[in-house]
């Protein structure tokens, strides 16, 4: 029987307190009135927490519950509709507690075989929904930034390996509407970009692709977006696939938010062409009801990722390379089994429940869009592709818009903040939570008339 750690003893009462608080948080959800405070305020309330002798677990936990938690904006509230919020299922959050306690190293099969196999079941489900070939696979990473960077690094290395040249000679084709992490990835990789124009809804089209890439011979990848962050739009994936197949170029699809839509049979046809991509990402911590942090990175041919990302060192010589080591498929080595909460939630509720949840979110989005169109003081910019709405309050400037947003942020009723579209400030709503009610959102939007 194992002994309690000598230097870091277990406080059973503290463990019980943490369990109780966590249970209540999972059951009751967040306090929507919580929010950021200034560093000086936090310094005063948090005090000198890191000391030579420690302040004890009970006091440290009190500072967590009474100071730290009230100073964060929880991302999983049903009426947090800013940025891309989260809606983790109760099952996924619950198992995340056990996952932390299990202390799994899931970078290598020899250490985390059970967890890795479960993660791979979730990845296989996503790959099959996307129409990827048998043998497709990948790994879970921390978020879309690392997922996109890893896939693009794999694509660039394949181009250098098979077509020659120096890494910096190659270019990434990307639209101005792509997520900022992809522009950052180009800088990290040290490659130039070819800018692809977009249409009036922010999408790459067949025509814009041809105009931008005609005569380009050093493009190693085209970055497609399936569910843009600002407007939820989907590029013409079929046109991009046609170009990439004709030119022998890697097609990567950034679906961090939007590709979750493929779990719904009704929404899936909008992603036609995804099945011809070489890789894609989707963040389960967005619209697949998993907790932070979790990005699924899937390759049609994982061998290409292994060739680019496998790390070698004397202490890694005995790693069995014939088994599935997630560290070989992205820019990471140490990793937790961050895909396990998604697997657990899928196993708990079933994939039909997931499809129903996505359909509910889509229905809510369209109900709110219809409500906006019926209000003469509001102007819907365009019909949604997925679950993001952009709209204007007729006659208001940015100062008025921001004041309304701030008032409702403070009272905790709704989080809806301005963004910009074609240089003009507009309101944006992003729906991912099936518990969000259209009638409640419209009631809040009616206060824009005041």
| Tens-place pLDDT, residues 176-188 | 889 999 999 999 9
For residue 300, give every residue at least 6 positions away whose Cβ sits within 8 Å of its Cβ, in sequence order, or none. 132, 133, 136, 277, 278, 279
pLDDT confidence of residue 63: 96
Domain CATH number, residue 130:
3.40.640.10
Q: Is residue 276 part of a domain?
A: yes
Average pLDDT over every residue of 405-434: 96
For residue 299, give every residue at least 6 positions away whose Cβ sits within 8 Å of its Cβ, in sequence order, or none. 136, 137, 138, 151, 154, 278, 279, 305, 329
Check whether residue 166 and residue 241 sit in a common domain: yes
Strand duo 378-380 + 192-196: pairing: unpaired
Check whether residue 294 and residue 367 sit in a common domain: no
Q: Is residue 194 part of a domain?
A: yes
pLDDT confidence of residue 415: 95
pLDDT for 1 beyond 60: no
Q: Is residue 18 part of a domain?
A: no
Q: Is residue 334 part of a domain?
A: yes
Q: How confident is the model at residue 443 (pLDDT cuts 50, 70, 90)?
A: very high
Strand duo 279-282 + 418-421: pairing: unpaired
Helix count (H) and strand count (E) of the chain?
A: 15, 11
Determine contact, residues 88/434, Cβ cutoff 8 Å. Answer: no
| Tens-place pLDDT, residues 262-305 | 999 999 999 999 999 999 999 999 999 999 999 999 999 999 99
pLDDT confidence of residue 7: 84
pLDDT confidence of residue 433: 97
Q: Is residue 171 part of a domain?
A: yes
For residue 117, give every residue at least 6 positions away whose Cβ sits within 8 Å of its Cβ, in sequence order, or none. none
Domain CATH number, residue 375:
3.90.1150.170
| Tens-place pLDDT, residues 67-88 | 999 999 889 999 999 999 999 9
Question: Using CA atoms, how far apart are residues 230 and 421, in angstroms rounded to an integer?
Answer: 8
Determine contact, residues 389/233, Cβ cutoff 8 Å. Answer: no
pLDDT confidence of residue 6: 73
Check whether residue 429 and residue 315 sit in a common domain: no
Determine contact, residues 282/126, Cβ cutoff 8 Å. Answer: yes
Sort residue 412 into left (φ over 0), alpha (ψ -120 to 50) or beta: left
Check whether residue 121 and residue 58 sit in a common domain: no
Q: Is residue 5 part of a domain?
A: no
Q: Is residue 13 part of a domain?
A: no
Which residue range is the domain that position 169 belongs to? 96-349
Question: Using CA atoms, how far apart are residues 60 and 223, in angstroms rounded to an integer?
Answer: 45
Of 349, 375, 410, the position where a domain reaches its end is 349
Q: How confident is the model at residue 233 (pLDDT cuts 50, 70, 90)?
A: very high
| pTM more than 0.85 | yes
Of 316, 349, 382, the position where a domain reaches its end is 349
Check whether residue 333 and residue 363 sit in a common domain: no
pLDDT for 347 beyond 90: yes
Check whether residue 243 and residue 115 sit in a common domain: yes
pLDDT for 315 beyond 80: no
Check whether residue 136 and residue 251 sit in a common domain: yes
pLDDT confidence of residue 214: 87
pLDDT for 2 beyond 80: no
Tokens of 333: 């080595």
Q: Please, what is the Cα angle at 447 between 443 and 450, to 5 degrees?
A: 150
Of 287, 322, 349, the position where a domain reaches its end is 349
Average pLDDT over every residue of 46-65: 93
Number of domains within the chain = 3
DSSP per-residue codes, 80-149: B-SSS-----HHHHHHHHHHHHHT---SSHHHHHHHHHHHHHHHHHHHHHHTPPTT-EEEEESSHHHHHH
Tokens of 19: 């369990």
In which residue are the tokens 């619950």 written?
A: 94
Check whether residue 331 and residue 360 sit in a common domain: no
Strand duo 295-299 + 279-282: pairing: antiparallel
pLDDT for 316 beyond 80: no
DSSP per-residue codes, 179-199: -HHHHHHHHHHT-EEEEEP--
Check whether residue 339 and residue 380 sit in a common domain: no
pLDDT confidence of residue 176: 86
Check whether residue 48 and residue 110 sit in a common domain: no
Bridge partners of 373, per DSSP, are: none
Q: Is residue 20 part of a domain?
A: no
Q: How confident is the model at residue 8 (pLDDT cuts 50, 70, 90)?
A: confident
- Rg value, the chain, Cα: 23
Check whether residue 196 and residue 155 sit in a common domain: yes
Going by C-alpha positions, the residue among 79, 35, 53 that lies closest to residue 416 is 79
Q: How confident is the model at residue 396 (pLDDT cuts 50, 70, 90)?
A: very high
pLDDT confidence of residue 3: 63
Check whether residue 281 and residue 238 sit in a common domain: yes
* Separation of first and last alpha carbons in the chain: 67
């Amino acid at each position: 029987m194992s002994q309690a750690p000598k230097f870091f003893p277990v406080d059973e009462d503290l463990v019980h307190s943490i369990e109780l608080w966590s249970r209540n948080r999972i059951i009751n959800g967040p306090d929507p009135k919580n929010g950021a405070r200034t560093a000086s305020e936090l310094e005063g309330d948090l005090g000198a927490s890191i000391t030579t002798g420690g302040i004890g677990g009970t006091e440290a936990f009190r500072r967590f519950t009474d100071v730290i938690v009230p100073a964060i904006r929880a991302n999983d509230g049903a009426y947090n509709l800013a940025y891309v919020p989260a809606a983790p299922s109760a099952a996924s959050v619950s198992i995340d507690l056990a996952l932390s306690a299990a202390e799994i190293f899931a970078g290598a099969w020899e250490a985390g075989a059970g967890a890795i196999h479960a993660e791979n079941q979730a990845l296989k489900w996503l790959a099959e929904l996307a129409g990827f070939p048998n043998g497709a696979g990948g790994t879970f990473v921390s978020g879309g930034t690392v997922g996109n960077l890893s896939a693009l690094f794999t694509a660039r290395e394949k181009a250098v390996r098979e077509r020659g040249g120096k890494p910096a000679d190659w270019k990434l084709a990307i639209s101005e509407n792509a997520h900022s992490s992809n522009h950052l990835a180009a800088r990290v990789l040290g490659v130039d970009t070819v800018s692809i124009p977009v249409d009036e809804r922010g999408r790459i089209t067949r025509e814009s692709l041809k105009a931008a890439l005609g005569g380009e011979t050093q493009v190693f990848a085209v970055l497609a977006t399936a569910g843009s962050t600002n407007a939820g739009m989907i590029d013409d994936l079929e046109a991009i696939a046609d170009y990439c197949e004709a030119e022998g170029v890697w097609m990567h699809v950034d679906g961090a938010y939007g590709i979750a839509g493929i779990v719904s049979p009704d929404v899936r046809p909008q992603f036609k062409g995804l099945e011809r991509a070489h890789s894609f990402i989707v963040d389960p911590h967005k619209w697949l009801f998993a907790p932070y942090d979790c990005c699924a990175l899937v390759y049609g041919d994982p061998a290409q990722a292994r060739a680019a990302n496998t790390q070698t060192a004397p202490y890694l010589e005995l790693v069995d390379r014939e088994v599935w080591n997630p560290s070989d498929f992205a820019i990471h080595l140490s990793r937790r089994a961050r895909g396990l909460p998604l697997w657990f939630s899928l196993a708990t509720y079933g994939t039909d429940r997931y499809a129903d949840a996505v359909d509910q979110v889509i229905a809510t989005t369209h109900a709110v869009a219809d409500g906006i169109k019926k209000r003469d003081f509001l102007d819907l910019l365009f019909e949604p592709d997925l679950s993001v709405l952009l709209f204007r309050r007729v006659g208001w400037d940015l100062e008025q818009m921001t004041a309304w947003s701030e008032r409702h942020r403070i009272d905790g009723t709704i989080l809806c903040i301005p963004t910009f579209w074609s240089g003009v400030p507009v309101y944006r709503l992003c729906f991912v939570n099936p518990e969000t009610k259209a009638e409640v959102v419209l009631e809040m939007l009616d206060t824009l008339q005041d």
